[in-house]
Structure 1
């Protein structure tokens, strides 16, 4: 890297660290040094109190817990700071955002408030479990190419009974408004692409965000049924309303597909030939129930493009099944289809970010009781990862003897973290020196704690607002609906 580029990257890192410190309104010095301790600790974070032994954290363990439990962060300002840093973009200059939920499991935290049942996968095959915890909705910006880097932008903890689509829509709207205010998106730029996994009501989210420059791309279950556009209205002497829906498009029934609008074939290194088939202007038939129960007026027709992606083989050797995608755009070209399925594969980079948060940075390690303290610790994780991303071009690879040599631009977040201690000396620290104090007397020896913490039951509803029942497609021996039960052809 040239000296000018290196100086610019270092300046961005220093500016972000200063802005982060100014977002801390209570226990600022301790919270800032706690974030530095996470960045500079040797190896994965195993416990919260263990960070007080890291040299970069100059306070005691009592101040550490006091900062996590009683500190304050100006979250709105920190959100603007995260949206103002340099963000990755797709090949055409487009911003690509991904949203997904990651649970902070607290199955034995009887004193923790506002827990919900979080969906997790067990160790066995098709083992779906509901474990109490705090589900967090996290928004990141995706990169192109083979990488495990993302740019975290926002995090929201879901309360028991929250409407997932409503929370996602509000969160995305706030993120896009901040990106526009930060000049990350300007008039004339390509629309922002939002990538979602299965389980989201993508057509409803697209309808609620129709006034924003955003396109929705989501994976669909293989038993969905969509409708074609309504046929042209013809006068009927017997009267009757004009048809609002055309014929059915059943994902599991090849006979209902008809001719594709676009077909593309791409040679890939991992999957062989990737074939994408797209059908234009398909929409789900909405019903006046659940989220649409209180909708005023006739239900909307939300048209989009359905994409079926198939590959020759999987790298892991697993079951090779087609992937169904829904894109909120219409009249797609071959370039649009290729961009959609390739950016959907990049969505799985957010899973690498979650694993980095939990296994290396110790996001879910602290046994916190108060959900506000959990939110505070979560925002520290987002700022820590952002500092690693800004230091990506400055880090020196401290390679282990058994690791392969990689180019500087190919360093993973964990390998950048190894050398952050050396970069920290160049960025400086805005914190003040700790003042010597004496510990309090504490509880008298031999006395018992007579103030037992209150116990809280787990919310009886999921984050979807419905009581938990095991889905039919999760039960062994149950056939999914409307699939035809015939092998997919073509």
Structure 2
């Protein structure tokens, strides 16, 4: 079985390369060789034109830019191909998906269309900044342990003024349907767990995805207020003999007021190597009090009660941080056991593996390096980078560690994506390339010497709305001298 493992991995890699080539419908040879050059180039990608100098790219630099600007790619077919690849799973065998927004910043690109204000973190006093760019909602499958590997499944560019929750819900629904169609989830398997950060409305997304076999786990702000279930009719009449209208919501659960917490549903304590003792406390059947504003303005039915489990995670120590703040999580499941609580907070920690993937895409593969003018060309380049990262993941069992003299030795099955890419050129000779040989070039006449460009590119203003659809304004809780808000 172990002897056939390398051969099976080589067949899976070759099959994916063939499927990826068939997803390219215009200038497919130039696009495919561009992805190969991205994989085989030594060191981080600094500029896009440098990839034309790689031996794997047999065409000139004009064909490189022409393929990105004029080529075509069937993104839906590539999404189905990614869903059919081997995916990492959690310890209990379930699929764990993470979705997050990563910006491609273009602050000085006045000729680029479809730019939005992207939320970024700076340094010093300007920690929260809004910079023009292209925000991408990226979804990936997570593994069980600490690793820098994730399986990228989808990427959607957020249009100016888009509703982040609506786009994420549609993206999640389509990804889950593709996973079911590919046989990654079957009836009787554990439900798919979706992990979100604090920028998402987890209860609303859980309500919109209620008919799918998914569970939502999201982080909540520390100033939230939840409500308990309403008392039964018998309990209400005992407390109010005079009668009256029964309440729809129960008592408040204020995150910042321990006096309102009450007894826990489950409590777990785990000794970790990095964080020391981690304590998770869970309270069952808590829901937010919804109002007919913001996302629920157009809801023509009675507002729902979205019940879930609130988990408070505290650790003994945090690396390189002086303030040890608790983490509040909301899980769409109810009647949580100790095993459920442990699985939830461990899965939330695995969400940070996506940050390693973003750093790999940007710093090594050069995802945000090209200065492309068209947003459609940016989408094609994004899918090429995702396809290249997938090939690195499939080539992981085949890679040999080509370490530098100052680097530590690493076992072959524990190589990072950058170390696998370092030896991909050796694997490139073992896998077939469906790209056809280039034809002899015929240079065009070009612009006559001394002539001026009479066709100036159009200038586009950045929309004064965020990707969430709200007007661009500095949040109140980010201003100095203001108290944290109290949200329900």
| TM-score range normalised by the length of the shorter chain | over 0.9
Q: Secondary structure at the match of 1:442?
A: coil
Decide whether the 8 Å contact of 1:252 with 1:482 is kept in 2.
Answer: no
- What does residue range 105-120 of structure 1 map to in structure 2 within 5 Å? 105-120=105-120
Distance 2:360 2:5 in 1: 27
Distance 1:277 1:465 in 2: 35
Residue 28 in structure 1 maps to residue 32 in structure 2: no
Q: Secondary structure at the match of 1:321?
A: coil
The aligned residue for residue 488 of structure 1 is none
Q: Secondary structure at the match of 1:44?
A: coil
Distance 1:473 1:424 in 2: 52
Decide whether the 8 Å contact of 1:120 with 1:129 is kept in 2.
Answer: yes
Residue 306 in structure 1 maps to residue 306 in structure 2: no
1:482 deviation in Å? 4.0
Distance 2:178 2:486 in 1: 42
1:237 deviation in Å? 6.7
The aligned residue for residue 254 of structure 1 is 258
C-alpha distance after superposition, 1:318-374 (max 9, x if no partner): 421000000000000000000000010000000000000100000000000110000
Q: Secondary structure at the match of 2:393?
A: helix
Q: Secondary structure at the match of 2:398?
A: coil
Task: Classify 1:151/1:132 alpha carbon distance in 2 versus 1 (closer, same or farther; 3 Å).
Answer: same
1:186 deviation in Å? 0.1
Q: Secondary structure at the match of 2:4?
A: helix
- RMSD over equivalenced CA pairs, Å: 1.2
1:468 deviation in Å? 1.3
The aligned residue for residue 243 of structure 1 is 247
Higher mean displacement: 468-477 or 277-286: 468-477
C-alpha distance after superposition, 1:107-139 (max 9, x if no partner): 000000010000001122561100000000000
Distance 1:374 1:198 in 2: 27
Q: Secondary structure at the match of 1:393?
A: helix
1:60 deviation in Å? 0.2
The aligned residue for residue 285 of structure 2 is 281
Residue 272 in structure 1 maps to residue 276 in structure 2: yes
Q: Secondary structure at the match of 2:469?
A: coil
The aligned residue for residue 394 of structure 2 is 390
1:477 deviation in Å? 2.5
- What does residue range 68-467 of structure 1 map to in structure 2 within 5 Å? 68-124=68-124, 127-233=127-233, 234-235=236-237, 240-467=244-471
1:472 deviation in Å? 1.7
Distance 2:392 2:486 in 1: 47
1:2 deviation in Å? 2.8
1:460 deviation in Å? 1.1
Decide whether the 8 Å contact of 1:250 with 1:256 is kept in 2.
Answer: yes
C-alpha distance after superposition, 1:74-118 (max 9, x if no partner): 111100000000000000000000000000000000000010000
Which stretches in structure 1 are left out of the alignment for 5+ residues?
Answer: 484-490
- What does residue range 52-63 of structure 1 map to in structure 2 within 5 Å? 52-63=52-63
**With structure 2 as the length reference, what TM-score do the two structures score?**
0.97
Decide whether the 8 Å contact of 1:126 with 1:474 is kept in 2.
Answer: no
Decide whether the 8 Å contact of 2:88 with 2:95 is kept in 1.
Answer: yes
1:240 deviation in Å? 3.6
Q: Secondary structure at the match of 1:179?
A: helix
Distance 1:105 1:248 in 2: 41
Decide whether the 8 Å contact of 2:281 with 2:313 is kept in 1.
Answer: yes
C-alpha distance after superposition, 1:413-435 (max 9, x if no partner): 00000000000100121111111
Higher mean displacement: 377-386 or 227-236: 227-236
Task: Classify 1:406/1:125 alpha carbon distance in 2 versus 1 (closer, same or farther; 3 Å).
Answer: farther
Decide whether the 8 Å contact of 1:134 with 1:158 is kept in 2.
Answer: yes
**With structure 1 as the length reference, what TM-score do the two structures score?**
0.97
Task: Classify 1:304/1:385 alpha carbon distance in 2 versus 1 (closer, same or farther; 3 Å).
Answer: same
Higher mean displacement: 256-265 or 465-474: 465-474
The aligned residue for residue 486 of structure 1 is none
Aligned length: 483
Decide whether the 8 Å contact of 2:106 with 2:133 is kept in 1.
Answer: yes
Q: Secondary structure at the match of 1:308?
A: strand
Q: Secondary structure at the match of 2:174?
A: helix
1:3 deviation in Å? 2.4
Q: Secondary structure at the match of 1:136?
A: strand
Distance 1:409 1:125 in 2: 42
The aligned residue for residue 487 of structure 1 is none
Distance 2:185 2:11 in 1: 23
1:469 deviation in Å? 1.4
1:441 deviation in Å? 1.1
Decide whether the 8 Å contact of 1:114 with 1:371 is kept in 2.
Answer: yes
Q: Secondary structure at the match of 1:340?
A: helix
Distance 1:282 1:100 in 2: 25
Which stretches in structure 2 are left out of the alignment for 5+ residues?
Answer: none
Higher mean displacement: 116-125 or 73-82: 116-125
Distance 1:125 1:53 in 2: 42
Decide whether the 8 Å contact of 2:117 with 2:466 is kept in 1.
Answer: yes
Decide whether the 8 Å contact of 1:23 with 1:77 is kept in 2.
Answer: yes
Return the match for 1:476 from 466, 474, 480.
480
Decide whether the 8 Å contact of 1:97 with 1:195 is kept in 2.
Answer: yes
C-alpha distance after superposition, 1:145-166 (max 9, x if no partner): 1100000000000000101110
Decide whether the 8 Å contact of 2:146 with 2:353 is kept in 1.
Answer: no
- What does residue range 14-53 of structure 1 map to in structure 2 within 5 Å? 14-53=14-53
